[in-house]
Chains A and B, each alone.
Chain A
Amino acid sequence: MKKRAVLISVITLICIGFASYPSLAADKIEDPQKALIERLECKEKDLLIERKDEIWGIEDGSIQLKEDGTGEIMPPLIRDYEPYFEANIDLSEEQLFDIYSVIDKKKLAEEGARFIRIELMTLKEYCERFSLEDVTSSPQISPDRLLWVVQLYYAVGYETRGGFIKNALVTGLYDAESGILLGSVAETIK
């Protein structure tokens, strides 16, 4: 009888151990993308607190009407602020996101895609070499933030949320540290 009680206790303890193991393991593994998103949301929150907004986001109480009531008096716009994606030009090779881990070259070839480049560069370099726009047009990203620039050509065309792009040159801008896709552009090549 005593032996049986001991045996049951041991089995129960083992079961509890197994049941708690996955959650303990999950606590230890941190998703770098999720962590970065949380950090950036906190940054935004701080920015708003500096502006004395009381909640995360804005509030309806902030509405100020013009004298004639035909529209709102808008608060000052924030154009010049510290980029959320900070400069990280000194990132070591080990800290770089493995861009090749998300690229399926075989499947892309089946879809008719041709790789033009997968290249590591800063936002500033990307603007100078490819987009030809002022680096300040993306204020959330530091000019010295490292990006993976992934460029492909689809002679067969490319479907986007905005519509189908014929004869498309497609560019993806991935954050080189977290792997988050910051943006993409698809354009018809003449």
Chain B
Amino acid sequence: MRRCIHILLFICVLIFPNIAFANYYGIAQNFTTGLDGGFMRATLKKPLDSKWDILNRTRHIEHVLWLTTDSNGSWLEVGFTDGGIRQPGESDWSYYHGHYLAKGVRNINHDVTYYEERKIIGPSTNDGAIHTFQVQRDGYNTWGIYIDWTLRRTYTASISALRMDVGLETNYYYSNSAQWNERDFQFYQGGQWRYWSLMDSYRLLGGIPPSLQVSWQNEPRAIYTYKY
């Protein structure tokens, strides 16, 4: 009996830190490679609530478009977030509610070796505002990140993208989002935008925790995502 308890305690020690720092996803993924860009349209819906407070400053929740830019898992992202953002020099994470974009670089061991994020102030944060989110290759290895067809940041990355993901991410089990309708998913290839197609290799990923749901609104071009 005592041995069983010890084993259970050991398992808890192993599992709980992972739960505490895990991110949860309700997303659509498309595995088409050789991409020069990705696009989605979304309407901001309240509530989007990470349950951030001064005692729990790292909680966040966001609706995002990601492009994976190399086989190590490096990425570019743009979206709308609620929750903690770490402010260098300040002793703790601060609250932010608004648009943002980011670039992450992973090495061959998949460790993150570079992460940059920017707040994007200007686009409306009003409930019901519709926005377009877009990442596209503008030069040999330069990528532009756009909100509402307006360039917000340029990054250098690889010469093509390997995957596009769209949907909801959070790092807190009890965070909350109204039902969003991410839609009009498109790739940029050969100088043209093309909707995700039934011929592509794609899937939905969600349901963990069960309160985080993703479903097709118009397969495979649009999804509903929500978290209660």
Contacts and interface: CB of A to CB of B under 8 A. Distances in A.
Interface of A: 36-37, 40-41, 43-45, 47-48, 55-60, 63, 66, 70-79, 81, 84, 99, 102-104, 107-108, 111, 118, 133-134, 136-140, 150-152, 158-166, 170-172, 180-188
A78 B150 contact: yes
B228 interface: no
Contact of A77 (B123, B129, B151): B151
Contacts of B39: 72, 74
The residue among B90, B129, B186 with the most chain A CB atoms within 10 A of its own CB is B90
Given A102-B89, A140-B120, A161-B86, A60 B115 contact: no
Contact of B151 (A37, A78, A151): A78
A57 B112 contact: no
A41 to B, nearest CB: 6
A184 B88 contact: yes
B122 A140 contact: yes
Contact of A58 (B117, B131, B195): B131
Contacts, number: 176
Contacts of B113: 165-166, 187-188
B45 interface: no
A14 B86 CA distance: 45
Question: Which of A36, A43, A79 counts the most chain B CB atoms within 10 A?
Answer: A79
A133 B139 CA distance: 14
Contacts of A77: 144, 146, 149-151
